[in-house]
Amino acid sequence: MLKAAPGDSPPAAVTARDLGASFLGQYLVPFEAVSVLLLVAVIGALLIAREEA
C-alpha cells in the first residue's frame, strides 16, 4: 500500500456535481455512445427472448 509523504493533503472528494459536470462536458460523446449501445443490447435481448407465437 502506498503511503502519503508527510505534509501531503488528502485527495479532494468527488461530488455528484463533479461527476455530472464531467458526464455532460468532457465525457458527453462516450457517455451517449455507451447509452445507445446499451439500448441496442436491451432491444436485441428482448427480440431474442421473445417467443414465437
31 contacts 23 by C-beta, under 8 angstroms: yes
Q: How confident is the model at residue 45 (pLDDT cuts 50, 70, 90)?
A: very high
Q: What is the residue whose three cell numbers read 468527488?
A: 14
Cα separation, 37 vs 31, whole angstroms: 10
Angle at 18 between CA 14 and CA 21, to 5 degrees: 160
pLDDT digits (tens, 9 = 90+) for 11-27: 788 899 988 888 788 88
